[in-house]
Structures are given as C-alpha cells and as structure tokens.
Chain A
Amino acid sequence: MSARPRPLSPHLGVYRWQIGNTLSILHRITGVGLGVGLLALSYWLISLAGGEETYRTAARLFASPVGLVCLFGWTFSFLFHLFNGLRHLCWDVGVGFERTQRHASGWIAVFAAVCATLAAWALLWHGGRL
C-alpha cells in the first residue's frame, strides 16, 4: 500500500534572507567549521606531544597563509557560535522572543563576534606572536 503523499515544506529558496534565517544558517556553518577545527586542535596537541620537531612543523603549517586564514576563520566561528549560542540558550529558557529583541540580539551577536575577533588578532599581532 502506498503511503499518501506527505506534505512538503516550502523550499529554502522561497524565503527572503533576513537577520533571523541568515544567523541560523551561519550558526550551522560555523558549527561545521568548528568541527573541522577540532581536527586541527587534535593535530596541534599531537604535534605538541610528539616533541619539538613535530610541533615546529605544525606551527609552520598554522603560520602559512592558508593556516592563518583558517585560524582567523576559526576565531570568528568560535566567537560567533558562542554569542549566537547564548541567544539560543536564552530562547530555550523563554527569554528574548520578541521580534525587536530577536533582531537586536542578532546584530549584537554579529557585532560582538567581529569586534572580539579583531581584538584577539590585534592582541596576537601586538604581542608579536604572529
């Protein structure tokens, strides 16, 4: 017996891009990016345990142009996922659901993530650790 056709939700393409759905998908994208970052973190820890030579190889890899772009991306991804995750946790306890609150907290999360990313890299650069 064939099942009756299930109702389909509207395709993703019909939605207008707004702060809400943009940050929602960005939360997923940064989350997946951070999953890849966990691989890099493990590799870094293994290289540290392996001795000075392997650590220097890993450090060189992270200091390469591609490595720096990845590290910058992971910094932003971590901070955005953290701030936007706090929004989600607030919603889970029932706080901040109003339209204006949602929009404001969304922009605050983006702004805070951008500022904190730049501040962290400025601190690294200022300390001569890049």
Chain B
Amino acid sequence: MAWRAAVSLRSPLGRVLGAGSARAGTAHWWAQRVSAVALIPLTLWFFWSLLLLPTLDYATVRTWLSVPLSALLAVLLVAVTAYHSYLGTNVVVEDYVHAHSAKLFLAVLLRFLYVLCAGAGIFAILRIAFLP
C-alpha cells in the first residue's frame, strides 16, 4: 500500500497507533502469545496428572476431577485452550480460505463451535465438581 500511504494525510505515528483499517493492530497477536504462555503450565499439569493417575477408570478420574483445585485448573485449561485454538484456527481460515463468503461463514461457524465446545466441557467439569 506504499503508493496510497504516500498521499495519506495521516502521520506515520498515527498510522501505527491507529493500527490499520481494522483498528485491531497487535491485539490478536498479543492475545495469542499471552494465552500460549498460560497454556504451558495448564497443559503440562493436565498431561502429567493423567499420566500419574493409577488407572483411568471412571471412579479414579471422577475422584481426581472432584478435587476443587483439579476442577479449577481443568476449567481454565478448557477455556484458555478454546480461546488460543480459536485465535489460531481463525488465522488458518483467513490465510487459506479465499472466497469472502466462505471465509465469513467459517469464521462465524468456528466461533460458535468453540464457544459450544468450551461451554459444554466447562459445564461438565462444574457438574462433576459440584455434584460429586
């Protein structure tokens, strides 16, 4: 867009602060990084916990997830994973789906799917935690 920027009345600083036509700027990039950092301990905790459980049968897993700390971390895991994954797959759709209508449709569909998936997972954890 160099030829267009040359005739723009906006200052270079204004363009940077205004963060382009979408006004989104680095928000998406930053959110992806922050959620990634949060997921390091959360995913490692989940992975390690499952590996350390003596068995993976119903009673054992349910008892483990009924502990308040496990339930809290599991809720955070599902929520942050869904958020991070939504941000990532959204970029994949933006990059590889070229037809505008298909892009819009997929972006909205993904958003609904992630909210549904995370909502159902978190609801399940809370049910286990509060109705042991």
For A4, what are the chain B residues with a Cβ–Cβ distance below 8 Å? Answer: 3
**Residue of A at shortest CB range from B47?**
A78
Q: How far is the CA of A52 from the CA of B59 in the complex (A)?
A: 8
Query: What is the CB-to-nearest-CB distance from A103 to chain B, in angstroms, rounded to a whole number?
Result: 22
Chain B contacts with A in 39-61, Cβ cutoff 8 A: 40, 43-44, 47, 51, 54-58, 61
Q: Assess whether B85 is in contact with A48, with CB atoms less than 8 Å apart.
A: no
A34 within 8 A of B: yes
For A28, what are the chain B residues with a Cβ–Cβ distance below 8 Å? Answer: 88, 92
Q: Assess whether A41 is in contact with B121, with CB atoms less than 8 Å apart.
A: yes
Q: How far is the CA of A35 from the CA of B109 in the complex (A)?
A: 14
User: Size of chain A's interface in residues, with CB distance under 8 A?
Assistant: 30
- The A contact surface, by secondary structure, is helix
Given A32-B89, A89-B37 in contact, is the A42-B51 Cβ separation under 8 Å? no
For B128, what are the chain A residues with a Cβ–Cβ distance below 8 Å? Answer: 45, 48-49
Query: What is the CB-to-nearest-CB distance from A115 to chain B, in angstroms, rounded to a whole number?
Result: 14
A-B interface pairs (CB < 8 A), number: 81
User: Size of chain B's interface in residues, with CB distance under 8 A?
Assistant: 35
B28 within 8 A of A: no
Interface string of A29-47 (1 = CB under 8 A from B): 0011011001101100110
For B10, what are the chain A residues with a Cβ–Cβ distance below 8 Å? Answer: none
Measured CB to CB, the residues of A under 8 A from B are 4, 28, 31-32, 34-35, 38-39, 41-42, 45-46, 48-49, 52, 55-56, 59, 78, 82, 85-86, 88-89, 92, 120, 123-124, 127, 129
A/B interface sample: 22 pairs, CB < 8 A: A31-B92, A38-B82, A38-B114, A38-B117, A38-B118, A41-B78, A41-B121, A42-B120, A45-B74, A45-B120, A45-B125, A46-B121, A48-B58, A49-B125, A55-B61, A82-B40, A89-B33, A92-B33, A120-B47, A120-B51, A124-B51, A129-B55
